[in-house]
A = this chain, B = another copy of it.
Amino acid sequence: MKFRVKDMDIATGGTLVAILNKADARKLDLHSADRILVHNGKSEITCILDISESNKAVPPGKIGLFEEVLQHLGVKNNALVEIKPTGKPESVTHIRDKLFGKHLTYEELYHIVGDITHDRLTDIEKTYFVSGCFTNKLNNEEIVDLTRAMVHTGKKIKFKGITLDKHSIGGVPGNRTTMLIVPIIAAAGFTMPKTSSRAITSPAGTADTMECLAKVELPEKRIREIVRKTGACIVHGGSMNLAPADDKIIEVEHPLSIDAEGQLLASVMAKKYSVSASHVLIDIPMGKSTKANNWKAAKRLRKKFELIGRKLSMNVKVIITDGSHPIGRGVGPLLEAEDVMAILRSDPLAPADLRKKALKMAGYLLEMTGKYRWGQGLKEATRLLESGKALVKMNEIIRAQGRQQRPKLGQFRHAVRSGKIGRVREIDNEVIAKIARMAGAPTDKGSGLYLNLRLHDPVKRGDLLYTVYAESQFNLDLAKEILRQNNGYEIH
């Protein structure tokens, strides 16, 4: 059946959508979310169908196409195209099976992940997948298979030498250990091609923070060169097409803040497996706002990580750390980058807690390689930091990636002072993160918080707790609105 194209002037950035009028859809026995093959003699593409209830948006006889579809077919407004109903992709059957509690095989997971990667599934179908994996759980076999499927539907890269990697589970503002560990490890002569993410719900991701110092969006070829030259990199993983299904799965988890454990494990491990890491250190911060909010959950997660690692032939070590309060003093991309650089410069005012945690983790990684005896890793990491070798390496990495003009600290500032006397008993990660985000982080790089008083510090009335930095009055006001309810500090 032939239809005349209507350019809908909409890009989804993903899913391939075609819209038919209600009457035409009924005639062809087609429903919303059915698949149709649209072709014009020269090329063809399978689209997901949407139904127009009104005759205004898409009248009978017309087919509304989104930008991605128009581009792929190479057609314009008013062109004639033909359509043919096609079945649902096989992966939908597998998703249905998962909802019924079936265990999925590698091939089945590969189908699903492949279709997610290529935008062949609707939001509803992806949601059923996440939901089925969440309520019916993935067993260890399935998590390993999901990890492999995610990697094999993207790119897998191999670097020279012993390749190390690390990952910190999120939820703790300021926990910027990566930017310290990478130069220390590279200074010790190992390979650490670190791909990091941008913030989704936090005030800064490692990619956002590193971007204050160097370019992080680089083509894969450049990244290979940088790693060959310096032994390391700290770049945004997005442009590298590593486990691309992962982000698309996270998109449907976000609306309900669903944290399907199986998907979390597969998501983390897939990124490590994609860069062929042989030794991986996982940091599980434990605190009320983090994914593991008690010892039992943290230990369970540790066991899972170790098991999945073994099955993927990676040497995985997991540490459980204190995630109850922010780490370092800065919260927000620039302020966190400055904490990192202060530690690398051995500045006496640099935050001791972040320094200590990063050294400990770097030490573990060094020991995992087998080149350092137990207890010698931390010593070597400390030596590399204190001797300035890590700073030299960091500058080498920055130069290789392309130095960035350092952003300016937000000019709109607000001092938050204590109304009480006592000690800081608690600093709420979620409130601190929310204030920093309202102030503009991570989009506005110079926005965020600088913590003056830390956990256990004594407090007098009127003492400065922290300063809020924003790049606009608008964002400072948004932050102040949160502050009116809660400043995140528990003092008594």
Contacts from A to B (Cβ < 8 Å): 1, 8-13, 26-27, 29, 31-33, 51-54, 56-57, 67, 88, 92, 95-96, 99, 101, 122-125, 127-128, 131-132, 134-136, 251-252, 254-258, 437-438, 440, 443-444, 474-475
Contacts and interface: CB of A to CB of B under 8 A. Distances in A.
A85 to B, nearest CB: 9
A67 B440 CA distance: 32
A96 B256 contact: yes
Contacts of A101: 135
A13 B51 CA distance: 9
A124 B124 CA distance: 6
B54 A255 contact: no
Contact of A9 (B56, B124, B252, B444): B56
A11 B56 contact: yes
Given A10-B52, A11-B57, A96-B258, 7 more contacts: A9-B57, A27-B443, A27-B444, A99-B131, A99-B256, A131-B131, A131-B132
15 contacts: A11-B54, A11-B56, A11-B57, A31-B254, A56-B67, A96-B256, A96-B257, A101-B135, A122-B255, A124-B124, A124-B256, A125-B255, A128-B131, A128-B255, A132-B135
Contact of A11 (B12, B33, B53, B256): B53
Nearest to A12: B53
A431 B395 CA distance: 70
Nearest to A136: B135
A440 B443 CA distance: 54
Contacts of A31: 254
A53 B9 contact: no
B125 A258 contact: no
Contacts of A258: 96, 99, 128
Contacts of A132: 131, 135
A440 B27 contact: yes
A57 B131 contact: no
Nearest to A96: B256
